[in-house]
Amino acid sequence: MAGTAEAQKQIAEVTGDYKYGFVTDIDMDMAPKGLSEDVIRFISAKKEEPAWMLEWRLKAYRAWLKMDEPDWAKVSFPKIDYQDAYYFAAPKKKDGPKSLDEVDPELLATYAKLGIPIREQEVLAGVQGSAKVAVDAVFDSVSVATTFREELKKAGVIFMSISEAIREYPEMVKKYLATVVPVRDNYFAALNCAVFTDGTFVYVPKGVRCPMELSTYFRINAENTGQFERTLIVADEGSYVSYLEGCTAPMRDENQLHAAVVELIALDDAEIKYSTVQNWYPGDKEGKGGIYNFVTKRALCKGKNSKVSWTQVETGSAVTWKYPSCILAGEGSVGEFYSVAVTNNYQQADTGTKMIHMAPNTRSTIISKGISAGKSQNTYRGLVKVLSGAENVRNYTQCDSLLVSSESGAHTVPYIEVKNPTAQIEHEATTSKISEDQMFYCRARGLGEEEAVAMIVNGFCKEVMQHLPMEFAVEAQKLLGISLEGSVG
């Protein structure tokens, strides 16, 4: 493998005898380019991980080596050279700041530029009496700001970076990690297991309603850095948590791989609401650059009457491959998927959900709104599966596609597999073009062309947007407008 020898040499120079025990004195902020067992050791050492974690990663890596990159129907992109990327990057500071005063003003300025809501900026800045949104900002692989941990602690909620959780709550992490998305689930999930650098761990104890929305902003910022976040959320019996994930990335020229894994586990009567606004760099107007988003998101409704709802607004990335799914294993559990996916220019999105009904009386709702502009391709791919033992299952699916340009494409690929005759499955799908009459009406009321498109599109997405937490919805609305800039005319 090209680059490996060089990588080894570099690691040896900075880490010394890294193979035996933890390395505490590493000055180097980046692992050398490329992927090898040594790079994985470097990451694990850098994260001060216990030995079992390193072993787990190495096992995943070896499994990944034997797997083949999937080959999808509706997305195409140049071959990814896994040796031409960095798998670990950290901010310059050696230790995470102890308080917000220590947060790099440049970082705060970046947050401002990214349009992070004032409310969250205030929280980040530690303004007295500012609203309680806990921000665990994942900035370039390592969490540099974590707020409100104390208050969450009082409620018994654990909210921290996964690296910390591995150190502080190893038993809990061991118990749940990769139980929803197995290591060998898919090519990118296996890769993530081997090299994940950060992410979030949440545990909400029995009967606790998490006192605030938990919010994480992801941002990719170092040149050529593959990002492999890992999120694990466990809601114990009768608990509730709402988690917000949002991200943006600055202009760049080279394609970047992002392969996160998100696992949600809801025990009896627990509810998890997971909202995403995804705005990674989609590439320029010619389709150059942009991020590849191959993320695996899956929820296990393990307990009876548990509930998980995924709400996503996807506007970014050059190539998106994403199916937040629910395994409805607990009797009477509920899975929901509300999605808006906007593609513009040369973006390709293949997204949807899988609802796997394993237990009786489980219900699922799927509302998907796809908007295609420019020369983009937007595919909804969904699976509703009902196992033979699952009596009285209900599913409602609605897929609407809106075409903003005539050169764009919208595709709906629903798969339905029903092995139990008592199931009630409903599926509705529509495709429409943005109407000239609506455009003229808006423009005759003073709206510019882009404003008019944004308004009509926001209306089209209303049913999904209303499932987002209030502040997030406002952000998302603006984002829809921004994403469609230049899409008309």
Partner 1 sequence: MLNIKDLHVSVGDKEIVKGLNLEIKAGETHAIMGLNGAGKSTLAAAIAGRDDYEVTSGSIEFGGKDMLALEPHERVGEGLFLGFQYPVEIPGVSNLNFLRTALNSVRKYRGEAEMSAAEFMKLVREKAKALNMDPEMLKRFVNVGFSGGEKKRNEMVQMAVLDPKLAILDETDSGLDIDALKTVAEGINTQRRKDTAILLITHYQRLLSYVQPDVVHVMIDGRIVKSGGKELALELEEKGYADVA
List contacts with partner 1 (CB under 8 A).
435-449, 451-452, 455-456, 458-463
Task: Please say which residue, 340 or 356, places its beta carbon nearer to partner 1.
Answer: 340
The distance of closest approach from Cβ of residue 455 to partner 1 in the complex, given in angstroms and rounded to an integer, is 6
Burial environment of residue 383 by CB neighbours within 10 A (0 to 12, 13 to 18, 19 or more): middle
What phi, psi does 136 have (nearest 5°)? Answer: -110, 90
State both tokens at 451: 């404003």
One DSSP character per residue, 176-240 reads HTTSSS-TTSSHHHHHHHHH--EEEEEEE-TT-B-SSEEEEEEE--STTB-B-EEEEEEE-TT-E
The distance of closest approach from Cβ of residue 459 to partner 1 in the complex, given in angstroms and rounded to an integer, is 3
The distance of closest approach from Cβ of residue 119 to partner 1 in the complex, given in angstroms and rounded to an integer, is 17
Cα 488 off chain centre by: 29
Task: Please say which residue, 384 or 434, places its beta carbon nearer to partner 1.
Answer: 434
Task: Please say which residue, 383 or 488, places its beta carbon nearer to partner 1.
Answer: 488
What phi, psi does 370 have (nearest 5°)? Answer: -110, 130
DSSP three-state, residue 156: coil
The distance of closest approach from Cβ of residue 474 to partner 1 in the complex, given in angstroms and rounded to an integer, is 12
The distance of closest approach from Cβ of residue 340 to partner 1 in the complex, given in angstroms and rounded to an integer, is 11
Beta bridge partners of 372: 343, 403
The distance of closest approach from Cβ of residue 395 to partner 1 in the complex, given in angstroms and rounded to an integer, is 24
Task: Please say which residue, 333 or 458, places its beta carbon nearer to partner 1.
Answer: 458
Task: Please say which residue, 421 or 446, places its beta carbon nearer to partner 1.
Answer: 446
Task: Please say which residue, 163 or 405, places its beta carbon nearer to partner 1.
Answer: 405
The distance of closest approach from Cβ of residue 462 to partner 1 in the complex, given in angstroms and rounded to an integer, is 3
Task: Please say which residue, 60 or 453, places its beta carbon nearer to partner 1.
Answer: 453
The distance of closest approach from Cβ of residue 290 to partner 1 in the complex, given in angstroms and rounded to an integer, is 29
φ/ψ region of 247 (left if φ > 0, alpha if ψ in -120 to 50, else beta) reads beta
Task: Provide the 10 A C-beta neighbour count for residue 192.
Answer: 30
Could you give the CA distance from residue 10 to residue 452 in angstroms, rounded to a whole number? 55
Task: Give the torsion through C-alpha atoms of 278, 281, 283, 288, to 10 deg.
Answer: -130
Which residue pairs, CB below 8 angstroms and at least 24 apart, start in 5-14?
6/32, 6/34, 7/31, 7/32, 7/33, 7/34, 7/36, 7/38, 7/39, 8/36, 8/38, 11/38, 11/39, 11/41, 11/42
Task: Please say which residue, 175 or 462, places its beta carbon nearer to partner 1.
Answer: 462
